[in-house]
C-alpha cells in the first residue's frame, strides 16, 4: 500500500507541471496572474494553437520538422556508435583501452557554452552555416553514450556468450550485431530516449549557427517569446506543442523501452 | 502519415542548399527585434533591378548579441548590413575598423538628416562614419488615467504632465498617490533620469571611467533611491510575467515608456482597458532610451550596394515608413517633422498625439556620450538598485558595490 | 594468436568517436586555451598576455561567488535527486499492476521540452502570483521573494533540476537493477532477509557501476548548470543570476564575460578553469567510490 501511495505521489508531482501547461494553453490571456490559478482546462486550445502556427517570424512548423529530423538522425547514430564503442571498452582487450576511456571521460568535462565560436569557425570552413548538418554532425557521437553503454555492457553481456560466439567463428562485428546488441537493448533504448530529448532541447548552438528562416523548435520558441512575449497563452501553447512530439515518441517507444528493460532482465 | 512525409520533404529541401544565386546581388540585412523594413525592401528591390534583399532577424537582442560577436570574431556571417543597438555600437567605436567607413560611400553629406547627437554617436574619433542612425527610444510617461482619477488627481494628459515638471515633483505626486504602486521598477526610471544629466554618464568623452566623480550619475542614483525609499516601486523586473500582468491588474500607475513600448502595453493590458492607459510628457527635459544604427561590415562582399541600402533605409522617408510600420521613433529631424509622424495619434491611448509628445521629448534632449562598457556598467548599477528594492543592501552599500563593480570591470 | 579481426576491431569500434571528437571537440578546446592567454575583445585578437587572465580570475570575487553557488546548487540538487531516484527505481522494480503505466508516469519530466519547464516553473516561483507562494500563504506563511536570497533561489533552482532529472536517474537505476540476477534475491528471501536489507546488501552493490555513473554524470552536469538558473532569473540581465549574483553559476559567469561583457579572453580562461575543476571533482569522486568498494 505504501508503495502504491508513494508512487502515486511521485507520478502526481511528475505530471502536474505538464498538466498545468496544458490547462493554461487552453485558456484565454485574462487568466494571467489570477489567484487561485486555473486548474481546469478551458475552451481556447485550438485558437491558441492556430495563432501559434500563424505566428510570423517563428516558422514553428519548420522548426518542429527540423528538430524531428535532426533528433532522429542523431539518436540512431549515437546509439549505434556508442554501443559499438561501449562494447569494445567493456568486453574487448586492447592496448591503450583505459587511456582512451579516460580521454572520453575527460571530453565530457568541457563546458559546452564556450565551444560556440571555434565550432562556428569550423562550420564556416565547411560551409554549413544555417544548415542542419551543423546541428547533426558534431552530435553524431557522444561521450556520455559511450560511457553509459560501457557501464551497461559490463553487467548485461555475459563473457561466456561472447566466447561461445567466438568459438563458432563469428567475426567481432558479427558478435556485436548478433549477441551484444540484443543484450544491450534496454540500455540502448534508454540512451536513445535521452539523446532524442537532448537534441530536441538544444538551444545555444542552433541559435548560434542557424537563422530564423531555418530554425529548430527551441529557436522558434525563443523567436516567439520576443515577438509575442505579451501573449502568455500563446507561449504556453508553444511550449505544449513542442512537448507533444516528445510525448508521442515516449508513448510509442516507452513501452518498448520498458519492455526492453524487462527482456534484458530475463536474459541476464 | 502522408502529411508527415510531406513535411519531411520540405525539411530536407530547405535544409539542403542556400538560396540559388542568380547573376543579381543578394544583400543580407541582420536585425533584431522589429525594424519594420518589409515594405521598404520591396520598394528598393523594385527600383534596383538585380538586387535582392534578405532580412535575417533574431527576436531577442540578448540572443542577437552573442551571434553578432561570433560573426565579428570569425569574420564570417555578418551579412551586408548589420543593425547595431547603441550600447553595442559604443563597444565598436573605439576600434571601428571592422566596419566600412561610410564616408567612402558619400555619407558625409547626410549629417543634416540626423539629430546631431545621434549622428555623433556613430562617428569615430578620427572622423570615420561607422553607422547611420535608425530610431531613437523617445520617452514619454505612460499612466493609468482611471487610477489617477480614483486617487483624486487630474487625469487629463496635459494636466498630468504639468504635475511633474521635475523628478522631485514626480516623487511628491507618487508619495500622495494611493491605490497602486507608482511605477514598475527602479532600473527603468534610473535610466531615464540618468540620460538627462548632462553630456556624459559613466565615462567622460576621453573614455575615462568617471562613475564615482560625475555628479550627474550620483544625482540620478540619489533621485532613484528617494523613489525606492518612498515605496513608489512595484519592484517587478521588466519583461517578466508579473510585469506583463501589471499592465492589466494595475500593479503600477505610471511607467516611463519609449515609443515602441506602447504596442506592448496595448497588447498586454487588453481591449477592456482601452482609453484607460494614456501617455504624457516625461519629467525633466526629454529623454531617450535605446535606439539603433545600421552599419556595413568590412566582411561584406557588396560594400557599395550595402552602403546604398543602409542610406536608403535610414533616410527620412525610410524612417517615416518604419515608424508607420512598427512605431520606431525616427532619429531624423525631417522625419520627426513629417506630418505623418507629427500628427500621429494612438487610439488605444485615448487618441494621444504620440508623434508630438515623443518628438518634443527627443528634440529637447542634449547629446549624451556613452563610452565603451556603458551597457555592462549600467547592468551592474541596475542590479545594485534592485538589491536596494529587495532590501538586501542599504543605498550606501549598493552604491559602493556598483562603483567597485564598474571599476573592476574596466580595469 | 589473435586473429586480425580480434586485434583491430576494437580500434575500429572506438574510432568513430575519436574522429568526430578530434574535429568538433578537440579543436574548440585548444582554440579556447589559445584565446585564454590573449587579450581578446569584441574587435578580435589583441596581444599575448600570458596567464594574466587567470591571475585576474583568482582575485575576482564574482568568480568565487559563482564557484560557491555552483557547488552549493550541485549538492542541493544531486543528493536528494539520486536518493529519490534510487527509491523510485526499487519501487518500480517489482511486480505491480499497471506497472508500465507507473514507470512511464515517473519518466514524464524527461520528455518535457525545456521551454515548458521554464514557463511553468517561472510561474510557480513567481513572487506576486506564483503557486509556491500561494500555497505558503494558505499555510499561513509570508510570501517569499524567491530571487532575492541565496537559499530561496537555490531551492527553487534545485527543485527544477530535481524535477527534471529524478526520473532519468531512476530509469538508469532500473535498467541496471533489471540486470541483477533474480536468484540472488530468491536466495536472500529463503535466508529470511528483509526487503530493505536486500536493497542495501544486494541491489546497491550490484548496481554500483550505475550509481558511480550517475554520480559522475550529475557532478559534471551540475558543474555546468546553465539552463535552469537562466530560466529562473528573468529580465534583461538574467545572466548575472540575481541582483547580487545570488544564483549565478560558473557557466553563466563564463557566458556573461565572453558574450555580454565581450571579454572573450577572460571568458575562455573561465572555461578552462571550469574544465579543470570538473576533472578534479570527477577524479576525487572516482577515487572515493573506488576506495569504498
Q: What is the tens place of the pLDDT at every residue in C222-234?
A: 988 988 898 888 7
Q: Which of A103-107, A207-211, A227-231, B36-40 has the lowest mean pLDDT?
A: A227-231
A250: confidence class by pLDDT, cuts 50, 70, 90: confident
CA angle A58, A75, A200 (to 5 degrees): 25
Q: Please report residues of C whose CB lies closer than 8 A to that of B290.
A: none
Mean pLDDT in residue range B86-93? 86
A229 touches chain B (CB under 8 A): yes
Q: Which residues of B touch C (CB under 8 A)?
A: 62, 65-66, 69, 72-73, 91-92, 94-95, 97-98, 236-242, 245, 251, 373, 376, 379, 382-384, 386-387, 390-393, 408-409
User: CA gyration radius for chain B?
Assistant: 22
CA distance A108 to B63: 26
Strands B81-85 and B25-32: parallel
Helix axes B215-229, B186-194, angle to 10 degrees: 150
Contact in structure between C57 and A155 (CB atoms under 8 Å): no
B52 touches chain A (CB under 8 A): no
* Of C17 and C284, the one with more pLDDT: C17
Class of domain B24-136+290-331: alpha beta
pLDDT for B12 equals: 40
Cβ A227–B66 below 8 Å, yes or no?
no
Give percent above pLDDT 90 in chain C. 25
H helices of chain A, in order, are 2-25, 45-54, 60-91, 97-107, 116-126, 133-136, 143-156, 159-167, 172-175, 181-201, 204-209, 217-227, 232-267
CA distance A205 to C229: 18
Q: Where in chain B is the domain with CATH 3.40.190.10?
A: 24-136+290-331, 138-288+366-410
Q: Cell numbers at residue B50, please? A: 538585380
- Kindly identify which residue of chain A lies nearest to residue B60, measuring between CA atoms: A226
C178: confidence class by pLDDT, cuts 50, 70, 90: confident
Q: Which of A40-44, A183-187, B28-32, C94-98 has the lowest mean pLDDT?
A: C94-98
Q: Chain A closest CA to C150's CA: distance in Å?
A: 24
Mean pLDDT in residue range B5-16? 39
B13: confidence class by pLDDT, cuts 50, 70, 90: very low
Interface test with B, best of A229, A231, A238, A245 (most B CBs within 10 A): A229
Give percent above pLDDT 90 in chain B. 56
Contacts of C135 (CB under 8 A, 6+ apart): none
> Which range in A63-77, C36-50, C158-172 is most confidently predicted, on average pLDDT?
A63-77
A218 touches chain C (CB under 8 A): yes
pLDDT for B88 equals: 87
Cβ B76–A33 below 8 Å, yes or no?
no
Mean pLDDT in residue range A242-249? 88
Mean pLDDT in residue range B302-317? 95
Q: Please report residues of B whose CB lies closer than 8 A to that of A129.
A: 76-77
Cβ B241–A121 below 8 Å, yes or no?
no
Interface test with C, best of B241, B290, B411 (most C CBs within 10 A): B241
**Superfamily of C60-291 according to CATH:** MetI-like (1.10.3720.10)
Q: Please report residues of A whose CB lies closer than 8 A to that of C81.
A: none
Strands B132-144 and B288-295: antiparallel
Q: Cell numbers at residue A174, please? A: 558479427
* Three-state DSSP state, C38: strand
Q: Please report residues of A whose CB lies closer than 8 A to that of B21.
A: none
- Kindly identify which residue of chain A lies nearest to residue B76, measuring between CA atoms: A124
Chain B, window 11-50: residues with a beta carbon less than 8 angstroms from a chain A beta carbon: 11-12, 14-16, 18, 33-34
Contacts of A60 (CB under 8 A, 6+ apart): A52, A53, A217, A220, A224, A238, A241
Task: Report pLDDT digits (tens) over A138-147.
Answer: 999 999 899 8
- CA A251 to each of CA A34, A192, A193, A257, C98: distance values in angstroms, whole numbers, following the listed order: 33, 14, 11, 10, 15
Contact in structure between A55 and A234 (CB atoms under 8 Å): yes
Rounded to 5 degrees, what are φ and ψ at C34? Answer: -60, -50
Write down the mean pLDDT value for chain B.
Answer: 87
Q: Using CB atoms within 10 A of its CB, is residue C198 exposed (0-12), middle (13-18) or buried (19+)?
A: middle
Q: Chain A closest CA to C164's CA: distance in Å?
A: 8
Is residue B388's pLDDT more than 50?
yes
pLDDT for B104 equals: 95
Q: Please report residues of A whose CB lies closer than 8 A to that of B242.
A: 33
pLDDT for C21 equals: 87
Cβ C115–A218 below 8 Å, yes or no?
yes
CA distance B118 to B352: 26
pLDDT for B47 equals: 93
Cβ B376–C260 below 8 Å, yes or no?
yes
- Kindly identify which residue of chain A lies nearest to residue C276, measuring between CA atoms: A109
CA distance B289 to B154: 27
Q: Which of A25-34, A155-164, B63-72, C251-260 has the lowest mean pLDDT?
A: A25-34
Rounded to 5 degrees, what are φ and ψ at B302? Answer: -130, 55
Cβ A18–C112 below 8 Å, yes or no?
yes
Cα of first residue to Cα of last residue in chain B, in angstroms, is 61
Interface test with C, best of A21, A258, A266, A268 (most C CBs within 10 A): A258
Is residue B389's pLDDT more than 60?
yes
Mean pLDDT in residue range B275-283? 92
Option in C28, C121, C179 nearest A119 (CB): C28
Q: What is the dihedral of CA C205, C210, C214, C215, to 10 degrees?
A: 30
Cβ C117–A17 below 8 Å, yes or no?
yes
pLDDT for A51 equals: 84
pLDDT for A230 equals: 62
Is residue C176's pLDDT more than 60?
yes
Q: Chain A closest CA to C243's CA: distance in Å?
A: 23
Q: Cell numbers at residue C67, please? A: 564557484
Is residue C78's pLDDT more than 50?
yes
CA distance B159 to C186: 87
Mapping DSSP onto H, E and C, the string for chain B reads CHHHHHHHHHHHHHHCCCCCCCCCEEEEEEEECCCCCHHHHHHHHHHCCCEEEEEEEECCHHHHHHHHHHHHHHCCCCCCEEEEEHHHHHHHHCCHHHECCHHHHCCHHHHHHCCHHHHHHCECCCCCECCEEEEEEEEEEEEEHHHHHHCCCCCCHHHHHHHCCCHHHHHHHHHHCCCCECECCHHHHHHHHHCCCCCECCECCCCCECCCCCHHHHHHHHHHHHHHHCCCECCCCCCCHHHHHHHHHCCECEEEEECCHHHHHHHHHCHHHCCCEEEECCCCCCCEEEEEEEECECCCCCHHHHHHHHHHHHCHHHHHHHHHHHCCCECCHHHHHCHHHHCCCEHHHCCECHHHHHHHHHHHCCCCECCCCHHHHHHHHHHHHHHHHCCCCCHHHHHHHHHHHHHHHHC
How many C-beta neighbours within 10 Å does residue B39 have? 12
Interface test with B, best of A230, A233, A235, A245 (most B CBs within 10 A): A230
- CA C234 to each of CA B59, B208, C112, C151: distance values in angstroms, whole numbers, following the listed order: 16, 32, 20, 18
- Kindly identify which residue of chain C lies nearest to residue A232, measuring between CA atoms: C119
pLDDT for B8 equals: 40
pLDDT for C45 equals: 73
Option in C44, C236, C261 nearest B409 (CB): C261
A151 touches chain B (CB under 8 A): no
Is residue B265's pLDDT more than 50?
yes
Q: Chain C closest CA to B64's CA: distance in Å?
A: 10
Cβ A111–C254 below 8 Å, yes or no?
yes
A216 touches chain B (CB under 8 A): no
Q: Show the domains of chain A with their CATH numbers.
A: 57-229+241-267 (1.10.3720.10)
CA distance B71 to B84: 13
Contact in structure between C110 and C168 (CB atoms under 8 Å): yes
Q: Please report residues of B whose CB lies closer than 8 A to that of C145.
A: 390
Cα of first residue to Cα of last residue in chain A, in angstroms, is 30
Architecture of domain B138-288+366-410: 3-Layer(aba) Sandwich (3.40)
B14: confidence class by pLDDT, cuts 50, 70, 90: very low
Q: Using CB atoms within 10 A of its CB, is residue A47 exposed (0-12), middle (13-18) or buried (19+)?
A: middle
Task: Report pLDDT digits (tens) over C111-138.
Answer: 888 778 878 888 888 887 788 888 898 8
A35: confidence class by pLDDT, cuts 50, 70, 90: low
Contact in structure between C256 and C239 (CB atoms under 8 Å): yes
Q: Please report residues of B whose CB lies closer than 8 A to that of A218.
A: none
pLDDT for A62 equals: 92
Rounded to 5 degrees, what are φ and ψ at B249? Answer: -90, 10
Q: Cell numbers at residue B222, please? A: 540619489
A57 touches chain C (CB under 8 A): no
Strands B132-144 and B277-280: antiparallel
Question: B179: phi > 0 → left, psi -120 to 50 → alpha, else beta; which?
Answer: left
Is residue B295's pLDDT more than 80?
yes
Cβ C29–A110 below 8 Å, yes or no?
yes
Give percent above pLDDT 70 in chain B. 94
| Longest CA span, chain B | 69
Q: Please report residues of A whose CB lies closer than 8 A to that of B236.
A: none
pLDDT for A266 equals: 40
A84 touches chain C (CB under 8 A): yes
Answer yes or no: is the ipTM higher than 0.90: no
Is residue A225's pLDDT more than 90?
no
Mean pLDDT in residue range C270-276? 90
Cβ C176–A10 below 8 Å, yes or no?
no
Write down the mean pLDDT value for chain C.
Answer: 86
Inter-chain contacts counted by CB atoms under 8 A, chains A and B: 90
Mean pLDDT in residue range B342-360? 90
Nearest by Cα to A85 from C7, C17, C16, C14: C14
* Of A89 and B326, the one with more pLDDT: A89
Q: Cell numbers at residue C205, please? A: 552493490
Contact in structure between C103 and C92 (CB atoms under 8 Å): yes
The residues with which B135 forms a beta bridge, in sequence order, are B330
Is the Cα torsion angle A64, A65, A68, A74 positive or negative in sign? negative
pLDDT for A81 equals: 95
CA distance A102 to A139: 20
Is residue A83's pLDDT more than 80?
yes
B56 touches chain A (CB under 8 A): yes
Interface test with B, best of C131, C153, C237, C267 (most B CBs within 10 A): C237
Q: Which chains touch C (3 or more CB pairs under 8 A)?
A: A, B
Is residue B211's pLDDT more than 70?
yes
Cβ A65–B11 below 8 Å, yes or no?
yes
Amino acid at each position: 500500500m505504501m508503495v502504491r501511495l508513494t508512487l502515486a505521489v511521485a507520478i502526481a508531482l511528475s505530471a502536474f507541471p505538464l498538466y498545468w501547461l496544458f490547462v493554461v494553453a487552453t485558456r484565454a490571456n485574462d487568466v494571467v496572474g489570477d489567484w487561485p490559478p486555473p486548474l481546469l482546462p478551458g475552451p481556447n486550445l485550438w485558437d491558441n494553437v492556430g495563432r501559434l502556427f500563424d505566428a510570423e517570424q517563428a516558422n514553428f512548423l519548420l522548426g518542429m520538422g527540423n528538430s524531428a529530423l535532426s533528433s532522429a538522425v542523431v539518436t540512431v547514430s549515437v546509439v549505434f556508435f556508442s554501443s559499438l564503442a561501449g562494447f569494445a571498452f567493456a568486453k574487448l582487450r586492447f592496448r591503450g583501452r583505459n587511456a582512451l576511456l579516460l580521454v572520453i571521460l575527460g571530453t565530457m568535462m568541457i563546458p559546452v557554452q564556450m565551444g560556440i565560436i571555434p565550432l562556428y569557425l569550423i562550420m564556416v570552413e565547411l560551409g554549413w552555416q544555417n544548415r542542419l548538418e551543423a546541428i547533426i554532425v558534431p552530435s553524431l557521437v557522444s561521450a556520455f553514450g559511450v560511457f553509459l553503454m560501457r557501464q551497461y555492457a559490463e553487467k548485461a553481456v555475459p563473457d561466456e556468450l561472447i566466447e561461445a560466439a567466438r568459438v563458432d567463428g563469428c567475426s567481432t562485428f558479427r558478435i556485436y550485431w548478433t549477441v551484444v546488441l540484443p543484450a544491450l537493448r534496454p540500455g540502448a533504448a534508454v540512451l536513445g530516449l535521452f539523446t532524442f530529448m537532448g537534441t530536441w532541447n538544444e538551444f545555444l548552438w542552433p541559435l548560434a549557427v542557424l537563422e530564423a528562416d531555418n530554425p529548430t523548435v527551441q529557436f522558434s520558441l525563443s523567436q516567439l517569446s520576443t515577438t509575442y512575449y505579451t501573449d502568455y497563452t500563446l507561449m504556453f501553447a508553444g511550449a505544449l506543442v513542442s512537448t507533444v512530439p516528445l510525448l508521442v515518441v515516449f508513448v510509442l517507444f516507452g513501452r518498448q523501452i520498458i519492455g526492453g528493460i524487462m527482456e534484458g532482465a530475463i536474459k541476464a | 502519415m502522408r502529411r508527415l512525409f510531406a513535411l519531411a520533404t520540405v525539411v530536407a529541401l530547405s535544409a539542403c542548399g542556400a538560396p540559388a544565386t542568380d547573376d543579381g546581388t543578394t544583400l543580407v540585412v541582420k536585425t533584431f527585434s522589429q525594424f519594420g523594413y518589409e515594405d521598404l525592401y520591396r520598394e528598393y528591390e523594385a527600383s534596383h533591378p538585380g538586387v535582392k534583399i534578405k532580412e535575417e532577424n533574431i527576436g531577442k537582442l540578448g540572443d542577437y548579441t552573442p551571434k553578432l560577436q561570433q560573426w565579428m570574431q570569425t569574420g564570417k556571417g555578418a551579412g551586408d548590413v548589420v543593425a547595431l543597438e547603441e550600447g553595442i555600437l559604443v563597444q565598436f567605436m573605439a576600434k571601428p575598423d571592422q566596419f566600412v567607413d561610410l564616408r567612402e560611400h558619400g555619407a558625409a553629406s547626410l549629417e543634416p538628416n540626423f539629430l546631431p547627437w545621434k549622428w555623433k554617436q556613430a562617428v569615430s574619433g578620427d572622423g570615420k562614419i561607422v553607422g547611420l542612425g535608425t530610431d531613437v527610444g523617445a520617452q514619454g510617461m505612460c499612466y493609468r488615467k482611471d487610477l489617477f482619477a480614483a486617487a483624486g488627481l487630474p487625469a487629463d494628459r496635459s494636466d498630468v504632465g504639468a504635475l511633474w515638471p521635475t523628478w522631485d515633483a514626480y516623487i511628491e505626486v507618487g508619495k500622495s498617490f494611493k491605490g497602486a504602486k507608482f511605477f514598475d521598477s527602479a532600473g527603468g526610471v534610473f535610466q531615464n533620469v540618468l540620460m538627462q544629466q548632462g553630456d556624459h554618464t559613466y565615462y567622460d568623452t576621453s573614455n575615462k571611467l568617471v562613475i564615482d566623480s560625475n555628479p550627474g550619475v550620483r544625482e540620478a542614483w540619489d533621485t532613484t533611491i528617494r523613489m525606492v525609499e518612498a515605496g513608489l516601486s512595484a519592484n517587478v523586473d521588466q519583461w517578466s510575467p508579473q510585469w506583463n500582468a501589471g499592465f492589466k491588474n494595475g500593479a503600477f500607475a505610471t511607467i516611463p515608456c519609449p515609443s515602441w513600448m506602447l504596442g506592448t502595453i496595448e497588447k498586454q493590458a487588453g481591449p477592456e482597458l482601452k482609453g484607460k492607459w494614456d501617455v504624457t510628457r516625461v519629467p525633466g527635459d526629454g529623454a531617450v532610451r535605446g535606439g539603433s544604427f545600421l552599419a556595413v561590415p568590412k566582411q561584406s562582399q557588396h560594400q557599395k550596394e550595402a552602403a546604398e541600402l543602409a542610406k536608403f533605409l535610414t533616410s527620412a522617408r525610410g524612417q517615416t515608413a518604419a515608424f508607420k510600420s512598427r512605431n520606431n521613433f525616427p532619429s531624423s529631424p525631417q522625419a520627426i517633422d513629417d506630418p505623418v509622424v507629427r500628427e500621429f495619434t494612438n487610439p488605444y491611448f485615448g487618441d494621444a498625439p504620440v508623434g508630438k509628445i515623443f518628438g518634443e521629448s527627443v528634440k529637447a534632449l542634449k547629446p549624451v556620450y556613452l563610452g565603451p562598457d556603458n551597457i555592462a556598467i549600467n547592468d551592474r548599477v541596475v542590479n545594485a538598485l534592485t538589491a536596494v528594492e529587495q532590501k538586501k543592501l542599504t543605498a550606501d552599500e549598493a552604491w559602493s558595490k556598483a562603483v567597485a563593480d564598474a571599476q573592476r570591470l574596466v580595469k | 594468436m589473435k586473429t586480425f579481426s580480434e586485434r583491430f576491431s576494437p580500434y575500429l569500434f572506438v574510432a568513430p568517436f575519436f574522429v568526430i571528437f578530434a574535429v568538433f571537440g578537440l579543436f574548440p578546446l585548444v582554440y579556447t586555451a589559445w584565446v585564454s592567454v590573449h587579450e581578446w575583445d569584441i574587435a578580435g585578437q589583441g596581444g599575448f598576455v600570458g596567464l594574466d587572465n587567470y591571475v585576474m580570475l583568482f582575485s575576482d570575487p564574482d568568480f568565487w561567488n559563482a564557484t560557491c553557488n555552483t557547488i552549493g546548487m550541485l549538492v542541493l540538487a544531486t543528493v536528494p535527486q539520486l536518493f529519490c531516484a534510487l527509491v523510485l527505481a526499487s519501487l518500480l522494480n517489482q511486480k505491480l499492476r499497471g506497472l508500465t503505466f507507473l514507470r512511464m508516469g515517473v519518466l514524464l519530466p524527461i520528455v518535457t521540452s525545456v521551454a515548458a519547464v521554464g514557463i511553468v516553473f517561472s510561474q510557480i516561483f513567481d513572487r506576486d502570483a506564483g503557486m509556491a507562494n500561494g500555497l505558503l500563504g494558505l499555510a499561513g506563511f509570508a510570501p517569499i521573494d524567491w530571487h532575492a536570497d541565496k537559499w530561496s533561489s537555490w531551492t527553487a533552482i534545485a527543485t527544477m533540476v530535481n524535477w527534471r532529472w529524478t526520473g532519468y536517474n531512476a530509469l538508469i537505476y532500473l535498467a541496471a537493477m533489471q540486470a541483477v540476477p533474480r536468484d540472488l534475491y530468491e536466495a536472500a528471501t529463503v535466508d529470511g532477509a528483509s526487503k530493505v536489507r536486500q536493497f542495501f546488501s544486494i541491489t546497491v552493490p550490484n548496481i554500483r557501476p550505475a550509481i558511480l555513473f550517475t554520480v559522475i554524470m550529475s557532478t559534471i552536469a551540475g558543474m555546468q548548470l546553465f539552463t535552469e538558473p537562466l530560466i529562473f532569473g528573468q529580465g534583461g540581465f538574467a545572466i548575472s543570476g540575481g541582483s547580487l549574483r545570488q544564483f549565478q553559476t560558473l557557466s553563466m559567469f563564463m557566458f556573461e564575460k565572453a558574450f555580454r561583457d565581450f571579454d572573450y579572453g577572460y571568458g575562455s580562461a573561465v572555461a578552462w578553469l571550469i574544465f579543470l575543476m570538473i576533472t578534479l571533482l570527477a577524479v576525487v569522486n572516482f577515487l572515493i567510490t573506488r576506495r569504498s568498494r
